[in-house]
Structure 1
Amino acid sequence: MKAFYSFLAVIVLILVAAIGGSIVNLHFVFGIVIPYLAFVLFVGGFICRVVKWGRSPVPFRIPTTGGQQKSLPWIKQDKIQNPTSAFGVIVRMALEVLLFRSLFGNLKTELREGAKGPELAYGSAKWLWLGSLVFHWSFLIIIFRHLRFFLEPIPSAVQVVDSVDSMLQIGLPPIYITDLLFIVAITFLFLRRIVIPKVKYISQPADYFPLLLIFSIACSGILMRYFYKVDIISVKELALSLAMLHPVLPTGVGAIFYVHLFLVCSLFVYFPTSKLMHMGGIFLSPTRNMISNNRMVRHINPWNPAVEFHSYAEYEDEFREKMKKAGIPVEKE
């Protein structure tokens, strides 16, 4: 039911966009007003979340470590898993962001029948790492390719990436490799949440909805490119005018384009309030971006309030006479 509610929400978004794209009088709203509003909400929400995280107090060093800490000279330190220098943290963060280093070490746990009964066994689980890596990198390349609609002249780097990505010359237009990989990866990530009981148990609508929304964006884009042709010149004209803050609403782009654009805008609006904000949060995670030098440097919480101490000498000066009357021995007569 959790997946069904998310699926129903995506269907509603598609129907709203399809109806709006079919009505000429609403093209201005769906083509200009909603994209600008979505962009403002995305940038503003993203900045607010990052600023809120950045202002959160982190008084102690709490990096997640997975290797030997720096200790005695003859013990080899793991400078990436347990960095004690800024360079080590940079390398660790780069591996985390670009190659999903921590996810690569993911393990699966299961009970197996052994000679003495059930035994807890651990095994490698690299499929999640591979699927996530393909999904994120394909998504990044697809977004980078779309810069050709917003820039004129088109940068050479975008042209090179576009040429390499479309080197499968099967029919016209050429098939993009990342389109195929992206669909396969996001399908795998979605089915994983349905098929695996433990993952299904902890999955919420907030986990299904972005996957289905992104899948619908990819499908609408593929439909535009390979099946329902749209006027690319008009699409680029609209994209350039939006980027230059002088919007011009073209005609004849088709309702499927407005569906694709509205779904992208919905993702932009949803992004800052969702789990997708891990894109920015990974750089502010104290478990990743801190040097592990707890044994080398003493860290004192700067937010600790000042404590007023009352020494025994002061206590005795205050209550000496009463202590004498009660027969309590005192140090000073």
Structure 2
Amino acid sequence: MIISLLAVIALGCIAWLGAASGFQQLFGVIIPLAAVLVFLAGFVYRIMDWAKSPVPFRIPTTSGQQKSLPWIKPSPLDNPSSNAGVWGRMILEVLTFRSLFRNTEVSLEKGPRVVYYSSKWLWLFALLFHYCFLTIFIRHFRFFMEPVPFAVGGLELLDGMMQVGVPRLFMTDVIIMAAVLYLIGRRLFNDKIRYISLPNDYFPLFLILGLVGSGICMRYFTKVDIASVKVLTMGLVTLNPVVPEGIGAMFYVHLFLLSVLLMYFPFSKLMHMGGVFLSPTRNLPNNSRAVRHVNPWNPPKKYRTYEEYEDDFREPMFEAGLPLMKKPDEASKE
């Protein structure tokens, strides 16, 4: 945990010192463009690599009754037997984290006895985190588009509808900060989760915390020239980069942390964003009893039927008293 935290702090200091030392072109243009290329290339590579992985048989997670006899009620979402059920399962999984909603906790009570109970906090904060991140991502489109689409402006208006302070406080800023702190605290204060947590579990959380924190700092405390920021971002989008004067160092810290996140993304657990659609435990119907699945890459083989086997060994089998489909005299007549 300490290593990941120090790494993120070091990254922020590098960006701050670099921007203050006159390396705005490096941190404002070269690194962000390189980060986008690494993200796109890495993302496509991982998806293509997963797509080429063989799936020799159906292995969907079965959390309910499989379709069988007509008088037994099946579970079409937890154990889908059709493509429609798979679509429903995937939509609920992606949009509502349905499997995480059924998360449980276990504790050792007096007795001793093991007690399982429902735990919805992880599902709630994970859902809040992802939707707030999506909202903030869409809100930032105003820096990359001219004119700003009505939908982006409407979303920004809705996000700041509480009209708290000047500039107005966005609800997603508060919620995503609370969600990230919960996800970090969960790994710090839960003994079982802390035991299995690795530096690569903490690093993206601290990186996102720094990204969100620097963004909040720019908006509410350390002011930056928004007009100059838009000139820079529009230049990046049009591949005609211009680095205006007067952009504060905090902006370059924010942009550098985002660039690191983009470069880190394809090689980390964050790739579950794309991997969830390729998971054979989710994207396949459980119809192995109804449909015979043959591996297309199996080499052709010559199979020997029982009739052929009996034709070759009919006499010894008859002498041994084994049951036969055809007696020797019947076979000789044919």
Q: Would you say 1:29 and 2:18 are equivalent positions?
A: no
Q: Residue 303 of structure 1: CA displacement?
A: 3.1
1:133 aligns with 2:124: no
1:320 corresponds in structure 2 to none
Secondary structure (helix, strand or coil) at the match of 1:90 reads helix
**1:94: which partner in 2?**
91
**Hey, what does 2:318 align to over in structure 1?**
none
2:102 alignment partner in structure 1: 105
Please, which of 294, 305, 310 is the counterpart of residue 300 of structure 1? Answer: 294
Q: Which residue of 2 aligns with 1:7?
A: 5
Q: CA deviation at 1:306?
A: 4.2
TM-score (structure 1 length as normaliser): 0.90
1:181 to 175, 179, 183: 175
Runs (4+) off by over 4 Å:
306-316
**Residues 214-257 of structure 1: per-residue CA shift (max 9 Å, x gap):** 00000000000000000000101111111111111111011000
Aligned pair count? 311
Q: Which runs of 5+ in 1 are unaligned?
A: 317-330
The whole-number CA distance in structure 2 between the counterparts of 1:257 and 1:160 is: 25
Deviation at 1:309, TM superposition (A): 6.6
Could you say which residue in structure 2 is the equivalent of 1:215? 209
Offset at 1:170?
1.6
In the alignment, what sits opposite 1:243? 237
What corresponds to 1:319 in structure 2? none
Q: 1:305 Cα deviation (Å)? A: 3.8
Pair 1:76 & 2:44 matched: no
Q: How much identity, in percent, do the aligned residues show?
A: 53
Partner of 2:276 in structure 1? Answer: 282
1:113-262 to structure 2, matched below 5 A, reads: 113-114=110-111, 118-262=112-256
Tell me which amino acid in the other structure corresponds to 1:6. S
Match of 1:59, as an amino acid? P
Question: SS at the partner of 1:289?
Answer: coil
> Aligned AA for 2:50?
W
Give, in whole Å, the separation in 2 of the partners of 1:171 and 1:254: 22
Correspondent of 1:19 among 17, 23, 39: 17
Decide whether the 8 Å contact of 1:59 with 1:303 is kept in 2.
Answer: no
**Structure 2, unpaired ranges of 5+:** 314-327, 329-334
TM-score of the superposed pair, with normalisation by structure 2 = 0.90
**Deviation at residue 300 of structure 1 after TM alignment:** 2.2
Match 2:37 to one of 28, 32, 40: 40
Q: Distance in 1 between matches of 2:248 and 2:188?
A: 35
> Could you say what secondary structure the match of 2:74 adopts?
coil
Question: In structure 2, what residue type is equivalent to 1:62?
Answer: I
Matched residue of 1:74: which SS? coil
Shift of 1:312: 7.0
Give the match's secondary structure for 1:65: coil
Which of 239-248 and 218-227 deviates more? 239-248
In structure 2, what is the equivalent of residue 65 of structure 1?
A: 62
